[in-house]
């Protein structure tokens, strides 16, 4: 048995038109999965899907646009995936929002609510929409892309970090609920990665230096370097792993002493 074979599996990846989400979708397709590319903008989704289909054949990737702040959009994402591909075996909750950079004292209520709604509650919604069929089949993998921000403090992205810490607990709770049915729920916690989403951090020379000088690998990550963890969690290689978090951060959370 190929431990990483995903042939015949169907995976939804939110926020997959670019960055980490796109890298994950491409990696899952490389291992044989059919993938659903989803984000708010149809044009960007179509481009990402076309690239996968050009490599693996027409129909390997389909597009279902969705705004994660809309429960109706997320329900349509689940329903359309089942209608067009027949099932959902893997769910990767990757899409997230961070509309505010700065101390917690300066965040507005609306900004804080948006972060919590999109980064935690939207994950809860979509998981509840896809989990029943996994539970019925006694098999499935749910992956939440969290962040090492959920493990550390920050004076710049504190509210975002709070939401990512909540994602760890969401995975633990759901792992306990779904475990008896053989459905696994895990997190990936990337460090700083060169994506458009994190551009405000890595394009700032002072922030980039602060991150990399205490990181053993002395650099930030690239999107494709997160994708392998998702393949592992989606595949037969991880069937006895649930409620856990894989940290992929170049070692930044271990620190480098003098």
Q: Catalytic residues, which ones?
A: 160
Helix (H) or strand (E) holding 238: none
Contact between residue 110 and residue 161 where contact means Cβ atoms under 8 Å apart: no
Give SS3 for 96.
coil
- Where do we find the tokens 């290689």? 237
The answer to whether 120 touches 174, Cβ cutoff 8 Å, is: no
Q: Quick count: other Cβ atoms within 10 Å of Cβ 128?
A: 12
Q: What residues contact 174, with CB distance under 8 A and at least 6 apart?
A: 127, 131, 142, 185
Q: Are the CB atoms for 210 and 192 separated by under 8 Å?
A: no
How many angstroms separate the most distant Cα atoms in the chain?
A: 57
Angle at the Cα of 248 (from 244 to 249), degrees rounded to 5? 135
Q: Which residue has tokens 């990181």?
A: 215
Q: Which residues partner with 247 through β-bridges? A: 189
Cβ–Cβ < 8 Å for 16, 134 = no
């Amino acid at each position: 048995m190929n431990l990483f074979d995903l042939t015949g599996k169907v995976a939804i990846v939110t926020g997959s038109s670019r960055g980490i989400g796109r890298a994950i979708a491409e990696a899952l397709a490389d291992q044989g999965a059919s993938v659903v590319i989803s984000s708010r903008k149809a044009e960007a989704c179509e481009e990402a899907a076309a690239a996968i289909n050009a490599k693996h054949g027409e129909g390997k990737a389909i597009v279902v646009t969705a705004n994660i702040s809309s429960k109706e959009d997320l329900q349509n994402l689940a329903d359309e995936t089942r209608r067009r591909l027949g099932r959902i075996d893997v769910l990767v909750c990757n899409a997230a929002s961070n509309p505010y950079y700065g101390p917690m004292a300066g965040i507005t209520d609306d900004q804080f609510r948006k972060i919590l709604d999109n980064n935690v509650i939207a994950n809860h919604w979509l998981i509840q929409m896809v989990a029943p069929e996994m539970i019925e089949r006694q098999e499935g993998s749910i992956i939440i892309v969290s962040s090492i921000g959920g493990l550390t403090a920050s004076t710049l992205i504190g509210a975002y970090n709070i939401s990512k810490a909540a994602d760890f607990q969401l995975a633990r709770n759901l792992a306990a609920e779904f475990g008896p049915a053989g459905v696994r729920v895990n997190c990936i916690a990337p460090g700083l990665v060169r994506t458009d989403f994190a551009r405000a951090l890595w394009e700032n020379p002072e922030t980039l230096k602060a991150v990399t000088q205490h990181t053993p690998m002395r650099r930030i990550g690239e999107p494709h370097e997160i994708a392998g963890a998702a393949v592992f969690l989606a595949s037969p290689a991880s069937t006895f792993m649930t409620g856990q978090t894989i940290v992929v951060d170049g070692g930044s959370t271990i620190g480098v002493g003098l």
